[in-house]
Amino acid sequence: MEGIVIAIDGPAGSGKSSVAREIASRLGLVNLNTGATYRAVALLALEEGIVSGGGESTGGDLVSLARRVALHGETVSIDGEAVRDAALRTPEVSAEASKISSGKKLREVLVEIQREAASEARRQGGAVVEGRDIGTVVLPDAEVKVFLSASAEERAMRRARQSGRVGELERIKGAMAERDRQDSERETSPLRPASGAVSLDTTGMSFEEVVSEILSLVEKSRRTASR
């Protein structure tokens, strides 16, 4: 039997990554981080000096870069070589990833890569897939769909603590607001809850509370499926 897919979408700092990792580890599923594919293209674009926001010509260049990216389970690679997580998480790559992710053609290529990774993971028991458009576009048939959110204040604080840069809270808040705007206002696959998604505002919730809430949704879905 094919495994379950759990889609977790939400804005930056909503806790998606740590929650997805934890759920995958508790249920023995593969954790797929789709944001890493956008980050890998952003890293390549910065390295190769491709300026984003340049219309169709840039779109074509970005598609060529995207074809060099692969996603297998938890590993993102460029030209067949695994990329270190730290290289994908710099502020420059974060800002660039948000900018390039509005490209329609680029998204089409990355969505295909993500779907293949999810099919591969399904055959290995299932996956927790996190991103912005997993429930709406990439895997609308996911058995469980969750949309995580939290207040802008709390998301910025979590991000600052996570990266050990609490002194830069205001700068982080500003950068996050800009990414939120770009992610939710873009024409292609804007960030929004999928139909059938359970929205969870995690402001004031503990990590464990969020994890248990999602685990109970998974349990419910499994019970329904076995009826």
Give one DSSP letter per residue of 191-214, joined into a string.
S-PPTTPEEEE-TT--HHHHHHHH
Quick check: helix, strand or coil at residue 151?
coil
Q: Which residue has the tokens 């709406």?
A: 136
Smallest separation, CB 132 to ligand DC (Å): 4
Quick check: helix, strand or coil at residue 33?
strand
Identify whether the C-beta of residue 198 lies closer than 8 Å to the C-beta of residue 217.
yes
Q: Which of residues 66-125 bind ligand DC (CB under 6 A)?
A: 97-98, 101
Smallest separation, CB 2 to ligand DC (Å): 22
Rank residues 102 and 214 by Cβ distance to ligand DC and give the closer one.
102
Smallest separation, CB 159 to ligand DC (Å): 10
Q: Which of residues 132-161 bind ligand DC (CB under 6 A)?
A: 132-133
Quick check: helix, strand or coil at residue 133?
coil
> Of residues 76, 183, 214, 218, which one binds ligand DC by CB under 6 A?
183
Q: Determine the length of the chain.
A: 227
Smallest separation, CB 189 to ligand DC (Å): 7
> Per CB under 6 A, which region of 31-39, 69-77, 159-167, 216-224 contacts ligand DC?
31-39
The string over 105-134, giving b where at least 16 C-beta atoms fall within 10 Å of a residue's C-beta and e elsewhere, is ebbebbbebbeebbeebbeeebbbbbbbbb
Rank residues 133 and 154 by Cβ distance to ligand DC and give the closer one.
133
Rank residues 52 and 98 by Cβ distance to ligand DC and give the closer one.
98
Smallest separation, CB 39 to ligand DC (Å): 5
Q: Which residue has the tokens 């934890």?
A: 22
Smallest separation, CB 114 to ligand DC (Å): 7
Q: How many residues bind ligand DC (CB under 6 A)?
A: 13
The string over 25-47, giving b where at least 16 C-beta atoms fall within 10 Å of a residue's C-beta and e elsewhere, is eebebbbbbbbbbbbbbbbbbbe
> Of residues 38, 61, 121, 122, which one binds ligand DC by CB under 6 A?
38
Task: State the residues that interact with ligand DC by CB under 6 A.
Answer: 12, 34-35, 38-39, 97-98, 101, 131-133, 179, 183
